[in-house]
Structure 1
Amino acid sequence: MIDILQYFPNLLLVFVRVTSFFLLMPLFSYRSIPTVAKIGLGFFLAWIMIFTIDAPVMEIDGFYFLLIIKEALVGIFVGFIAYLMLSAIQIAGGFIDFQMGFAIANVIDPQTGAQSPLTGQYLYMIALLFLLSVNGHHLLLDGIFYSYQFIPLDQPWISFGNESMAEYVIKAFNAMFIIAFQMAIPVVGSLFLVDVALGIVARTVPQLNVFVVGLPVKIGVSFIVLVIVMSVLMLVVSQLFETMLETMRGLMNLIGGS
């Protein structure tokens, strides 16, 4: 019992980092998952991890409260980067919806509670199922565990003023938009060709009302192209997972001062 009380400050620090990860981490941050379940999972993960982390035994003092704030910031920041990379899927869906005429219809995202594009939410759900099928959630938990190799438990600060950290986050933001464009370009490009064809038809056959014909044609073409390129989209999503894990690792390197 004395050993458990001795390691309680370290356990609390690990618990704060793990639960902060769960606030924004894809898949674990869904509102539909009960808060009690998240806290319980975070506690048991912290309990398992505390005996494998090589760190001095902490004492609860003024310095300790700074460590708690640091742990919370680390968890939220790295979880936000992971969510930022996966949000490329919803951005791609927004591009597609804007072209096919679904931009006016949104659905509620269960993760954030905000409105999300229809196609983006559809692709995001498929991507999460794909993430589960390839055990990507295990890799996310591995990222939590191995974060202590980059950011020690007793490190008292995060170098937010570091220029390289700000540049790294901006590059991650840029990569997210590039991946979203790559995912959306097959459908958006096909719809651009449909718009050109409808423009030619409108000039050659003035009796045909292209505003009535155009919307169902664009929706039909969008669904056909989506079915055709779905395998390619999943290939891009798998590369997105790799990019997400590499981005998390690089950010933890910068936070740890490596």
Structure 2
Amino acid sequence: MNYEEIVNLILVYLLCSLRLTGLIFANPLFSLPSWPMPVKLWLALMLALVMVPSANPQVPVALLSTWTGVTFFAVREFLIGASVGFLAALPLYALQLSGYMEGSQMGLAMATLFDPAQEGSVALVGQMKYLLGIWFLFHWNGHLLLVEALDRSFALVPLGKGFTGIPASQPLGRWLTELFLLGIRLSLPIMGALLLADIGLGFVARTVPQMNVFILGIPLKIGLGLILLMVVMPLTVDLFYGYVSRALVWALEGTVLWR
């Protein structure tokens, strides 16, 4: 192996590690704030060693001879990995969004707790469903499927392949629409039941004016919401699982847009 081949191999390894770094920093499974930064970087470097044989590099050496070319390919590979990580996490964000909507309807919008991992206040129901979603993703080997999806991205978008332009915004709009629709579908049973409870409390307030419906409604809606949350949890998990597999397809579609 001559000097030029060694340099090209090192460049391919660095570009692979940048794509993996984008994935790790954009996906919640790997970007947990409790993970130290050196652990994330070492994880990207170690996984890059495994993916170098399947990288299928098509890097023009002439472009890598300038800082402009190196910067261009480095930013591009990081963005490709970040797009894979973000699109694969859309069902998890939708699950968290449904928890925020349910908590607001239950009257827990002002009830927050301090999360030391995120260094800020988070909503109770939204954070609970978010952590449950992360647990289920690890239980379903979602982290391994995510790495496999990134490995397949090297076949769809080889390192250094010609860049045709900025990715189209139309597919991104479709994916974000799917995110909000999934969040509404996940929260619709509980929100519908709580809406009926509000209507019932309204009738009670009209027929029995002496009753303090406001004081009665707060514990009633919280208790009803928590009971319904446990009842519909199996359906929520099934729907969430179906969208997780679809999100991996979206992640691969997102890499194709960078060709």
How high is the TM-score relative to the length of structure 2? 0.90
In 2, Cα distance between equivalents of 1:24 and 1:151: 19
Which residue number corresponds to residue 92 of structure 1? 98
Aligned-pair Cα RMSD in Å = 2.0
Which residue number corresponds to residue 79 of structure 2? 73
Note if contact 1:55-1:153 (Cα within 8 Å) is conserved in structure 2: yes
Residue from 99, 124, 129 that aligns with 2:130: 124
Which residue number corresponds to residue 239 of structure 1? 242
Per the TM alignment, residue 57 of structure 1 is displaced from its structure 2 partner at its CA by 6.7
Matches within 5 A, 1:90-169: 90-108=96-114, 113=119, 115-157=121-163, 159-160=165-166, 165-169=168-172
Which residue number corresponds to residue 52 of structure 1? 54
Note if contact 1:67-1:156 (Cα within 8 Å) is conserved in structure 2: no
Per the TM alignment, residue 51 of structure 1 is displaced from its structure 2 partner at its CA by 2.2
SS at match of 2:241: helix
SS at match of 2:203: helix
In 1, Cα distance between equivalents of 2:30 and 2:164: 25
In 1, Cα distance between equivalents of 2:228 and 2:209: 28
In 2, Cα distance between equivalents of 1:14 and 1:26: 20
SS at match of 1:7: helix
Q: Taking every aligned residue pair, what percent have the same amino acid on both sides?
A: 32
In 2, Cα distance between equivalents of 1:132 and 1:107: 24
Which residue number corresponds to residue 221 of structure 1? 224
In 2, Cα distance between equivalents of 1:113 and 1:253: 36
Listed one character per residue, the Cα deviations across residues 53-74 of structure 1 (whole Å, up to 9, x for unaligned) are 2225764412333211211221
In 1, Cα distance between equivalents of 2:89 and 2:240: 14
In 1, Cα distance between equivalents of 2:27 and 2:180: 19
**Is the aligned partner of 1:191 residue 2:194?**
yes
Residue from 20, 26, 29 that aligns with 2:28: 26
SS at match of 1:87: helix
In 1, Cα distance between equivalents of 2:87 and 2:142: 16
In 2, Cα distance between equivalents of 1:110 and 1:240: 29
What letter is aligned with 2:24?
F
What letter is aligned with 1:72?
F
C-alpha spacing 1:58/1:48, structure 2 compared with 1 (3 Å)? farther
C-alpha spacing 1:238/1:75, structure 2 compared with 1 (3 Å)? same
In 2, Cα distance between equivalents of 1:85 and 1:159: 28
In 1, Cα distance between equivalents of 2:164 and 2:237: 36
C-alpha spacing 1:87/1:148, structure 2 compared with 1 (3 Å)? same
Listed one character per residue, the Cα deviations across residues 224-243 of structure 1 (whole Å, up to 9, x for unaligned) are 11111110010111012122
What letter is aligned with 1:201?
V
How high is the TM-score relative to the length of structure 1? 0.90
Listed one character per residue, the Cα deviations across residues 200-234 of structure 1 (whole Å, up to 9, x for unaligned) are 11111111100111000000000111111110010
Note if contact 1:20-1:72 (Cα within 8 Å) is conserved in structure 2: yes
In 2, Cα distance between equivalents of 1:74 and 1:91: 25
What letter is aligned with 1:39?
L
Residue from 8, 12, 34 that aligns with 2:10: 8
Per the TM alignment, residue 143 of structure 1 is displaced from its structure 2 partner at its CA by 1.2
Note if contact 1:70-1:156 (Cα within 8 Å) is conserved in structure 2: no
C-alpha spacing 1:253/1:114, structure 2 compared with 1 (3 Å)? farther
Note if contact 1:86-1:244 (Cα within 8 Å) is conserved in structure 2: no
Q: Single out whichever of 66-75 and 122-131 deviates more from structure 2.
A: 66-75
Per the TM alignment, residue 140 of structure 1 is displaced from its structure 2 partner at its CA by 0.5
In 2, Cα distance between equivalents of 1:113 and 1:24: 18
C-alpha spacing 1:158/1:20, structure 2 compared with 1 (3 Å)? farther
